[in-house]
Structure 1
Amino acid sequence: MTARGDRAVSAPSVRSATRQDLPAVLDLYRHLNSDTDRPSVTTAESVFNRFLAYDGSAILLCLVGDVAVASCTLVVVPNLTRGARPYALIENVVTHGDHRRMGYGRKVLDAACDAAWAAGCYKVMLMTGSKQPGTLDFYRSAGFEQSKTGFQKRR
Structure 2
Amino acid sequence: MQRDEMLRLFEVHREAERARDFDAVLATFTDDCFFETVALGRRVEGKAATRAAYAAFFTAFPDIVPVDQGMTFGDDVIVVWGELRGTSGGPWLGVPPGGGSFVVPFANVAPFKDGRMAGERIYFDLATLCEQAGLSTEEIRAAARAAPGSGPS
Please indicate the TM-score interval, normalised by the length of the shorter structure: 0.3 to 0.5
Larger Rg: 1
Larger strand share, 1 or 2: 2
Q: TM-score under structure 1 normalisation?
A: 0.32
